[in-house]
Amino acid sequence: MLKKKIVGALNNQIGLEAESSHLYLAMASWAESQGLNGTANFLYMHSDEERMHMLKLVKFVNERGGTAIIPAISAPPTKFSSLQDVFKGILEHEMMVTESINNVVDICLSEKDYTTHNFMQWYVAEQLEEEALARTILDKLNLIGESTGGLYIFDRDLEQFTPTEETN
Ligand code: OFO
């Protein structure tokens, strides 16, 4: 049976993963409206991944006698000035998520809940990948700068992009 404090921390994380999914969805929609279909597909896919992160937590809480709470989500931004702006936003967001995951891990240790601590290690590893991915993409975009041809290739390449290829 999960302790109340652990359930609270996990429910907070459920909300954050839901917000992540929403943020990527908003970014995907913006990219699609700009004709950046490769980027849009990448971001739609990532939005689905974040939903999976949320569901994994929901099931963990419910299967261990807690009650997962599905929270309201605040509206994500709808306009972005550039692809750099999008991926800078992603990196900042993921760094904030990493902090939150670390906080959950801290609580698990102080509550001596080693099962949840073990479960959270998946998220610790995932955050490493997500931050690395955002940094890699941002570096590429900084190299491309304003070049239209470069952005065209970037967008086309991102369509084929699978995160594990890039971050391993
Ligand atoms: Fe769920 O990993 Fe990003 O936010």
Write out pLDDT tens, residues 38-70: 999 999 999 999 999 999 999 999 999 999 999
- The residue type at 47: S
Maximum alpha-carbon separation in the chain:
56
119-165: per-residue pLDDT in tens?
999 999 999 999 999 999 999 999 998 888 999 899 999 887 655 54
How many angstroms separate the CA atoms of 58 and 129, rounded? 22
Ligand 1 neighbour 61 (Cβ under 6 A): no
Average pLDDT rounded to a whole number, residues 25-48: 97
The pLDDT assigned to 3 comes to: 97
Q: Which residue has the tokens 């590893």?
A: 125
Burial class (CB within 10 angstroms; exposed 0-12, middle 13-18, buried 19+) of 160: exposed
Q: Report which ligand 1 atom has the smallest distance to the Cα of 126.
A: 2
Query: DSSP label at 81?
Result: S
Ligand 1 neighbour 19 (Cβ under 6 A): no
* Domain range annotation of the chain: 4-71+80-162
The pLDDT assigned to 168 comes to: 35
Nearest to 107 by CA among 16, 5, 26, 20: 5
DSSP string, 20-53: HHHHHHHHHHHHHHTT-HHHHHHHHHHHHHHHHH
Say whether domain 4-71+80-162 belongs to CATH 3.40.1160.10: no
How many angstroms separate the CA atoms of 161 and 91, rounded? 17
Ligand 1 neighbour 113 (Cβ under 6 A): no
The pLDDT assigned to 159 comes to: 80
Q: Report which ligand 1 atom has the smallest distance to the Cα of 127.
A: 2
The pLDDT assigned to 12 comes to: 98
- The share of the chain scoring above pLDDT 90, in percent, equals 89
- Residue 89, pLDDT > 60, answer yes
Cβ 80 vs Cβ 27: under 8 Å: yes
How many angstroms separate the CA atoms of 166 and 132, rounded? 9
- The share of the chain scoring above pLDDT 70, in percent, equals 95
How many angstroms separate the CA atoms of 139 and 141, rounded? 5
Helix (H, G, I), strand (E, B) or coil at 67: coil
* 158, two tokens: 């991102």
